[in-house]
């Protein structure tokens, strides 16, 4: 964590932080308890946060339960990531209208809401960095993504409660917060104490906390924050050995494990829909019945869809085996060749929300074991 300055705030200070963000024109989006899950929603006050709730996650399982304290961020990554705000599930690209002397074409655009993301986990912060490389890195830049990204203020949070499917420590993306935040929180709960170490990462962060009551950080506060990270690392639910993983998968393109996982995979695409880094999408054209207006829309798609890999001569990947292999190999190997980083941040969502509990870490482990044997 690269911090410019560090202070400590209490629950009242967190309320003041939310108020300061709203006063600065940001719409605050943070964790909310909705329909039996913890998902991002609009937050106007601390009372909107899921105080005293946590989740239990395993392969194909997600359940909420009460904690024995009033932690505000005491849960693991939920089913929805911040990707939905930066790369919306469905967005208009352009609209064409027929007029008397031809056509007019209008590209999508216009004002973009200023959003403050409150409670961004380390894995999700790493995912945002990955998407930045995809949509706003070297080469072609997606103007819609860039416009939305420039209007986002990030309040990250150190993950102190990893789930049973988490493996961010393996990917080097957590549980401590990495670069890219404006402010970062580490929740400290001990007996009657309920405070937050607050790290400042940008000039914007410095401006916002100017009106937030705080106290100087003490050595015991820093030690407590360090224990949060150590404890979360020790309780990590999964492990993925990443050494030489790209070459491992390239060498085993015809491994029999792909047939084994295909016999269990439903090709439903859940893993790609909940993944915070997947960026596959489809482009659709539509027109009104009178032929006066035509529109082009972009929407999320999945490499598990049978028609996703259709070309002029037909479908390229017709078997579940080939589609699962494409997804996992792209995520952990060819992504590195494309963008210089892994496409997996270890959030574990693909394991939790797989209806049959397929575990990406176990699939890689099985291939590695047969090579070593």
Domain boundaries, the chain: 5-89+112-234, 245-278+304-372
Give pLDDT, residue 372: 81
Mean pLDDT of 41-59: 97
Joined together, the tokens standing for residue 194 give: 């309920």
Cα–Cα distance, 152 to 262 (Å, whole number) = 39
> Looking at the predicted structure, is the pLDDT value of residue 373 above 80?
no
The side-by-side arrangement of strands in the sheet containing 27-34 is: 37-42, 27-34, 115-120, 152-157, 183-190, 193-200, 5-10, 215-216
Give pLDDT, residue 206: 95
Cα–Cα distance, 135 to 172 (Å, whole number) = 22
pLDDT in tens, 290-341: 888 999 999 999 999 888 877 777 777 889 999 999 999 999 999 999 888 9
Give pLDDT, residue 192: 87
Least confident of 195-199, 256-260, 335-339: 335-339
The beta-carbon contacts of 256-265 under 8 Å, at least 24 apart in sequence, are 257/363, 257/366, 257/367, 257/370, 258/321, 258/322, 258/324, 258/325, 259/321, 260/366, 261/321, 261/324, 261/358, 261/363, 262/319, 262/320, 262/321, 262/324, 264/356, 264/358, 265/320, 265/324, 265/356, 265/358
Is residue 154 helix, strand or coil? strand
Joined together, the tokens standing for residue 362 give: 């176990």
User: How are beta strands 183-190 and 152-157 bridged, if at all?
Assistant: parallel
Give pLDDT, residue 26: 98
Mean pLDDT of 118-145: 92
**pLDDT band, residue 107 (cuts 50/70/90):** confident
Give pLDDT, residue 311: 73
Give pLDDT, residue 2: 63
Q: Which of 199, 192, 190 minimizes the C-alpha distance to 217?
A: 199
Give pLDDT, residue 101: 73
Mean pLDDT of 267-276: 96
Mean pLDDT, all residues of the chain: 93
Mean pLDDT of 90-109: 83
**Residue 136 near residue 100, CB atoms below 8 Å:** no
Mean pLDDT of 22-37: 96
């Amino acid at each position: 964590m690269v911090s410019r300055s560090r202070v400590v705030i209490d629950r009242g200070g967190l309320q003041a932080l939310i108020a300061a963000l709203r006063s600065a024109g940001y719409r605050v989006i943070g964790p909310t308890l909705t329909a039996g899950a913890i998902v991002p929603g609009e937050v106007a006050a601390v009372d909107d946060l899921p105080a005293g709730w946590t989740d239990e996650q395993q392969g194909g399982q997600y359940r909420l339960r009460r904690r024995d304290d009033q932690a505000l961020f005491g849960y693991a990554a939920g089913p929805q990531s911040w990707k939905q705000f930066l790369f919306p599930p469905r967005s208009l690209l352009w609209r064409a209208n027929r007029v008397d002397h031809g056509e007019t074409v209008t590209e999508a655009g216009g004002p973009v809401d200023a959003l403050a993301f409150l409670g961004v986990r380390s894995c999700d912060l790493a995912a945002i960095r990955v998407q930045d490389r995809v949509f706003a890195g070297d080469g072609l830049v997606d103007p819609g993504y860039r416009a939305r990204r420039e209007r986002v203020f990030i309040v990250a949070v150190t993950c102190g409660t990893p789930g049973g499917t988490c493996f961010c420590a393996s990917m080097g993306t957590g549980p401590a917060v990495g670069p890219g935040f404006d402010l970062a929180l580490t929740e400290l709960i001990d007996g009657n104490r309920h405070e937050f170490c607050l790290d400042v990462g940008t000039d914007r962060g410095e401006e916002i906390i100017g009106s937030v009551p705080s106290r100087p950080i003490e050595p015991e506060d820093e030690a407590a924050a360090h224990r949060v990270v150590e404890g979360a690392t020790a309780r990590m639910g999964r492990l993925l050995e990443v050494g030489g993983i790209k070459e491992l998968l390239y060498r085993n393109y015809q491994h029999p494990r792909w047939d084994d996982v295909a016999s269990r995979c439903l090709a439903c695409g859940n893993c790609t829909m909940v993944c915070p880094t997947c960026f596959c999408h489809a482009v659709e054209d539509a027109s009104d019945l009178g032929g006066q207006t035509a529109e082009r829309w972009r929407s999320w798609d999945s490499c598990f869809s049978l028609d996703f890999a259709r070309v002029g001569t037909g479908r390229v990947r017709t078997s579940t085996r080939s589609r699962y292999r494409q997804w996992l190999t792209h995520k952990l190997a060819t992504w590195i060749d494309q963008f210089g980083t892994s496409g997996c941040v270890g959030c574990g969502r693909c394991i939790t929300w797989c209806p049959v509990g397929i575990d990406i870490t176990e699939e890689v482990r099985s291939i590695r074991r047969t090579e070593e044997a």
